[in-house]
Structure 1
């Protein structure tokens, strides 16, 4: 991962990891009140559960970054049915389901890889959101090109530029809408590289980014 500097990144990491602690501490303090009603108690337990999940997701992202730098993101390889993978990913993205189009015979493609990591890659791309206030469905087109899977994901965002997409692929998102560490695309690019492919992008207008994923197809 390139810029920011190591110190700036560690400061950012410390700040983000502290984020869930304040609501968790408040919830624990309030739960000690003997006069707390059952409904309030359940609400506070829900706060704790959300923040624990958020903190766990941050730790997973940081752990994946370390594995990426050590070349340990791909630990196994097995045939992956592309259509089933896409269907499962779309089903998990119920709040803002992506629109996915298969071109030609791309629907029958298979990939050799670590199914958990490839699923993580597709989830990061098809579920990508760059705005907290106005989530927009990703539009994706999948095709077979020179015995390689090629997926083009169109994402709408304000102030799109080549510099912005280059930054998102190499450095943490400055204000991630999912309250994580903002490393989703950095890790997605590392997963693509680990599987003999690549992930790159460009601006295709003032409000549109295109991310292009390429992976070798299984024989």
Structure 2
């Protein structure tokens, strides 16, 4: 009987030793794979289980989950880094252009032979260029504040009919000067909704500035309620926005003007979209047969 017990004990010991050696082998292989992860591309960050085993399987699953999160973070980081580089490049370009122009006109002002009328013209151009640069810097600061969360909103009941009418009236002379015919379909009965007044003024102002920059001859603005939600539609004809531009219009530095000759970045619509979404709304853009449309939706 004792020899049998001894044999069983020996076999058990052998099995335990084999299990230990196999477990140790798996741990070593997993460790080797982890050591290689820093040199592997993000898409190859995955640990394989060398040998079957419940404990090791749970460990490997957990590690792979962490590696997947790391992969996602790295992809987002690289995308953001690329976007920042592109923003800096575009910002440098759009600041350099008016700066070069300012230097040229400032040099002309130093020439005593330049007539007074021309001096005034050059001064007006300089002031316009300074306004463009100031708008670019302020827009970037505003976007930076939104990204950092340092952009508080004071939401209170707002009647969009009154607020939208006031902003449109403020831009009336600019629209007339640009020969843009305005058609309004604003429902006075639209209920008050919780919004930030300053943010909404900024949104409407950016929209109208966008029309003045890229619009052609017509602008239609609608305000109404549909399915319990408040909708605002801006629609204008344009020959400066193309179909391929639409998916990128809300990017910070995108502009549909390939030459960027007007010194304007695509910041206006990016700010609009962020302000809308911060207030629980949504914004969609579309272009059909030369008619550019932006649709705002607020409410459940």
Query: Is the TM-score greater than 0.5?
Result: yes
Partner of 1:80: 158
Q: Looking at CA atoms only, which structure, 1 or 2, has the larger radius of gyration?
A: 2
Q: Which protein is richer in helix relative to its size? A: 2
Q: Give the match's secondary structure for 1:19.
A: helix
Give the TM-score normalised by the residue count of structure 1: 0.80
Structure 1 stretches of 4+ with a deviation exceeding 4 A read: none
User: What is the CA distance between 1:118 and its match in structure 2?
Assistant: 0.8
Q: Which structure is richer in relative contact order (CA contacts within 8 A, separation 6 or more)?
A: 1
Alpha carbons 1:131, 1:177 under 8 Å: kept: no
Query: 13-22 or 88-97: which moved more?
Result: 88-97
Give the TM-score normalised by the residue count of structure 2: 0.61
Partner of 1:51: 129
Alignment of 1:1-219 (within 5 A): 5-93=83-171, 94-96=173-175, 98-103=182-187, 105-106=189-190, 109-129=191-211, 135-158=216-239, 160-161=242-243, 164-171=245-252, 172-175=254-257, 179-203=263-287, 205-216=288-299
Alpha carbons 1:126, 1:138 under 8 Å: kept: no
Q: Give the match's secondary structure for 1:128.
A: helix
Q: For the structure 1 residues 49 and 147, does the alpha-carbon distance in structure 2 shift closer, same or farther, using more than 3 Å as the test?
A: same
Q: Which runs of 5+ in 1 are unaligned?
A: none
Alpha carbons 1:165, 1:209 under 8 Å: kept: no
Q: Which runs of 5+ in 2 are unaligned?
A: 1-78
Alpha carbons 1:160, 1:209 under 8 Å: kept: no
Q: Give the match's secondary structure for 2:119.
A: helix
